[in-house]
């Protein structure tokens, strides 16, 4: 963590093209994690405080930041009315009156940016003693992005938004990535001087470039070559594209570290999932949220891990198994068509096909825990009604509904007597 750097994350926009009445743009999710969550996670290790600028549906974004990130120093700042990106950053000025460090500015709808890239950007800024640095990249089709305009000596001259660009400027392929690093003590006065001299009548953050040059500050653009990392989310189509990019990146990283992905085209694994060597992920498996999977495991096909899952070594999760907020210890097998939620499974446990942990009471809305100790064996088509504990070595007969704790090494079963009516079918046919 850099105690001389703070982050400002722009998250006040409405996101009209997302066509959502209930969810702010930055709270739309990729594999169980919000766009804003990705951005905060990528700056939390390099900044000591994060200011999230909120506006549209502010209360929802505020609640998200408070519940997920307040412990790391993240806080929200209201922008009302929303008068542009420059106006948004100016909202933090009262909190930074005596601050003399650096400010990293990002957009809350760019989930693909990585901490490694941000560190390289920061190093570029510091190595050349820059006062204002903007991140840029080259797009073959730059439509929609602000253009980086350089002079004949290739020095940064200004940034022109697409709506204000002339025909020649629109041909420029170097675009603004929307990420800035400012030496705050030298730059903070710009937010008193910004003017809405543009087609939108807004206070553009991009105008700080021209202001800095006028003030004889050291102003630069740092070009990165990982184009996909600055991909912004403005529509559901963008969201789908970003999800594919992120998933492909994750799967490639896992395979390079010794994980077998049988069919990358049908497998989805979240960025926050850790998987050990020699584990095999079979086709059509979907793993979202934050999870840890050990070595030599077999997952799927068609398995679904919903987050908060810890799987130790040599575990098998079969076809159509769903797991949520559970710990599964080593050498345990969970048979196909099973649901394991809010549970803790010991080692050498065997879960028969069709087993369900009934963890949710719809009347009280309380979720309870199921605990299966080492060497427990659960017969197929069993329902374990939480809260319940099955002690070490106990066996549960197939088709049982378990509502009480089971003592060690016992056999438990709930089963009506079998009735056989001879020739019943023949009589029925006659």
Active site residues: 336
SS3 at position 268: strand
Give 173's Cβ-side CA count (13 Å radius): 6
How far is 71 from 87, CA to CA, in rounded Å? 27
DSSP at 101: S
Nearest alpha carbon to residue 394 among 413, 375, 367: 375
The C-alpha angle 200, 205, 206, rounded to 5 degrees, equals 85
- By CB neighbour count within 10 A (0-12 exposed, 13-18 middle, 19+ buried), where does 109 fall? buried
- Taking the C-alpha atoms of residue 220 and residue 287, their distance in angstroms, rounded to an integer, is 41
b (16+ CB within 10 A) / e for 282-319? bebbbbbbebebbbebbbbbbbbbbbbbbbbbbbbbbb
| Degrees to nearest 5, angle at CA 110 with 105 and 112 | 115
Distances (CA, A) of 20 to 110, 165, 213, 312: 18, 30, 40, 39
Residues in the chain: 430
* Nearest alpha-carbon partner for 226 in 157, 293, 136: 136
Q: How many CB atoms lie within 10 A of CB 40?
A: 23
């Amino acid at each position: 963590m850099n105690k001389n750097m703070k982050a400002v994350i722009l998250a006040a926009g409405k996101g009209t093209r997302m066509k959502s009445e209930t969810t702010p743009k930055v709270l739309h999710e990729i594999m169980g994690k919000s766009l804003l969550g990705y951005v905060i996670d990528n700056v939390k290790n390099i900044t000591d405080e994060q200011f999230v600028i909120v506006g549209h549906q502010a209360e929802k974004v505020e609640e998200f930041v408070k519940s997920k990130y307040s412990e790391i120093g993240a806080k929200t700042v209201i922008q009302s009315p929303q008068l542009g990106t420059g106006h948004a950053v100016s909202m933090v000025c009262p909190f930074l009156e005596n601050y003399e460090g650096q400010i990293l500015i990002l957009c809350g709808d760019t989930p693909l940016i990585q901490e490694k890239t941000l560190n390289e950007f920061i190093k570029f800024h510091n190595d050349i003693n820059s006062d204002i640095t903007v991140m840029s990249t080259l797009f073959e089709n730059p439509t929609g992005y602000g253009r980086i305009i350089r002079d004949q000596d290739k020095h940064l001259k200004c940034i022109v938004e697409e709506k204000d660009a002339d025909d020649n400027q629109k041909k420029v392929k170097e675009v603004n990535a929307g990420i800035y690093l400012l030496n705050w003590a030298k730059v903070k006065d710009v937010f008193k001087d910004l003017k809405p001299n543009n087609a939108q009548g807004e206070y553009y953050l991009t105008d700080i470039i021209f202001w800095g040059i006028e003030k004889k500050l050291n102003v630069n653009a740092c070009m990165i070559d990982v184009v996909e990392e600055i991909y912004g989310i403005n529509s559901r189509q963008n969201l789908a594209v970003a999800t594919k990019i992120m998933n492909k990146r994750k799967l490639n990283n896992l395979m390079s570290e010794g994980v077998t992905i049988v069919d990358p085209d049908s497998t989805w694994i979240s960025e926050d999932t850790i998987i050990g060597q020699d584990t095999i992920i079979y086709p059509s498996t979907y793993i979202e949220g934050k999870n840890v999977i050990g070595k030599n495991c077999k997952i799927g096909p068609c398995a679904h891990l919903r987050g908060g899952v810890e799987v130790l070594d040599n575990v098998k999760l079969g076809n159509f198994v769903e797991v949520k907020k559970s710990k599964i210890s080593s050498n345990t097998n969970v048979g196909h068509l099973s649901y394991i939620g809010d549970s803790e499974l010991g080692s050498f446990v065997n879960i028969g096909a069709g087993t369900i942990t009934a963890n949710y009471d719809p009347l009280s809305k309380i979720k309870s825990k199921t605990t299966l100790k080492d060497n427990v064996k659960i017969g197929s088509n069993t329902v374990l009604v939480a809260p319940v504990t099955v002690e070490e070595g106990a066996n549960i007969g197939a088709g049982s509904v378990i509502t009480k704790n089971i003592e060690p090494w016992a056999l438990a079963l709930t089963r009506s007597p079998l009735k056989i009516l001879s020739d019943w079918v023949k009589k029925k046919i006659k």
